[in-house]
Amino acid sequence: MRIYKTKDYNEMSRKAANIISAQVIMKPDAVLGLATGSTPLGAYRQLIDWYKKGDLDFSETRSVNLDEYKGLAPSDPQSYAYFMQENFFRHINIKPENTNIPNGLETDENLECRRYNSVIKQLGGIDIQLLGIGNNAHIGFNEPGEAFEKETHCVRLTEDTIQANSRFFSSMDEVPRYAYSTGIKNIMQARNILLIASGTAKAQALYRSLFGPITPLVPASILQLHSNVSIVADEEALSLILEKGLL
C-alpha cells in the first residue's frame, strides 16, 4: 500500500487525476471504476481540464460506477447517473455506450445485481477503481455490517450515510433508503485501487481502515489485503495517522 500525503484537497485531486490519467494513457481502453460524492469532484475537474488541453483521450475508455440509489431515474438530479453526466462524462469524449451505472429504476433486485456483475465480467474486470470513503469507512455503499457483501447487492443505507448524504437533498426524508452497490469482491478484484480522502471528518475512518483490524465493521479495512492500493489523502484526513507517528 502506498500512501501519498498531500497538503490539501486541490493537491489530492491533482495527484489522483495524475494516477488515473497515467492509466488512460498507458491503456486507452482501460476500464475505470468510478465513484461519486464530493471527494472525486476535483479529480474529475482536473481530468476534464487535461482532456480539453488535448492531453487525454477517453474515446476508447470504458467505465463502471460503484453504485446508484434505488428508485431514482438517470434524469433525477440526485441520481448518480446524473452526477456523472454533469460532473464528468458530458465534458469529455467517453462514449455513452461505454459507461455503466446500476439501473436505479430496476425494481427486481436479483435481476439488476446479476446484470451488473455480468457487465463487470464482460468488461474483463476493472483496471483502476477510484474510491472515496464514508465517515463510517464504507466504500461504495458497502456499509459496516457483520459480513462483507461480495458482489453487486441492494443495500439498506445506514442512518450515518443517510445523514451525510442529506446535504445533497432538501430534507432527510428525501434521501433514498436503498441503493445498488458493487460488492467487496468486485472492488477487490480491481487490478489497482485508488482511495482518496480529504478533511478531518475522514481521519478516524482512514486510520481504522489502514491500521486497524480487518473487519466488515470497517469495510475499507479489507483494502489492506489488496496488493496494489494507492491512498491519496490530505493532511487533515491523515491527521490521526500522522499524530500516531504511523506515517
User: Residues 170, 104: contact at Cβ < 8 Å?
Assistant: no
Q: How many CB atoms lie within 10 A of CB 26?
A: 9
Query: Of the listed pieces 31-39, 79-87, 92-100, 105-113, which binds ligand PGA according to CB under 6 A?
Result: 31-39
What are the contacts of 163-170 at 24+ separation with CB within 8 A? 164/134, 164/135, 168/78, 169/78
Q: What is the distance between the alpha carbons of residues 147 and 217, in angstroms, rounded to a whole number?
A: 8
Active site annotation includes 143: yes
**Least distance (Å) from ligand PGA to the CB of residue 217?**
16
Q: What is the distance between the alpha carbons of residues 59 and 64, in angstroms, rounded to a whole number?
A: 15
**Least distance (Å) from ligand PGA to the CB of residue 39?**
3
Active site annotation includes 136: yes
Tell me the site size for ligand PGA, rule CB under 6 A: 6
Q: Which is nearer to ligand PGA, 21 or 166 (CB)?
A: 166
Q: Is 144 in the site for ligand PGA (CB under 6 A)?
A: no
Catalytic residue, candidates 117, 136, 186, 192: 136
Catalytic residue, candidates 68, 106, 127, 143: 143
**Least distance (Å) from ligand PGA to the CB of residue 246?**
22
Q: Which of 39, 63, 98, 152 is the binder for ligand PGA (CB under 6 A)? A: 39
129 bridge partner residues? 33, 193
Q: Is 133 in the site for ligand PGA (CB under 6 A)?
A: yes
Output the nine-digit C-alpha cell for 4.
501519498
Catalytic residue, candidates 65, 68, 106, 138: 138
**Which residues lie closer than 8 Å to 90 by C-beta, 6 or more apart?**
none
**Least distance (Å) from ligand PGA to the CB of residue 13?**
12
Instruction: Tell me the pairing of strands 67-69 and 178-181.
Output: antiparallel
- Of 69-88, binders to ligand PGA (CB under 6 A) are none
Q: Which of 104, 134, 176, 183 is the binder for ligand PGA (CB under 6 A)? A: 134
Q: Which of 22, 25, 29, 38 is the binder for ligand PGA (CB under 6 A)? A: 38
Least Cα distance to 82 among 63, 69, 92 occurs for 69
SS3 at position 45:
helix
Helical pair 41-52 and 80-87, crossing angle rounded to 10 deg: 40
**Least distance (Å) from ligand PGA to the CB of residue 199?**
8
> Catalytic residue positions?
67, 136, 138, 143
Q: Which residues bind ligand PGA (CB under 6 A)?
A: 37-39, 132-134
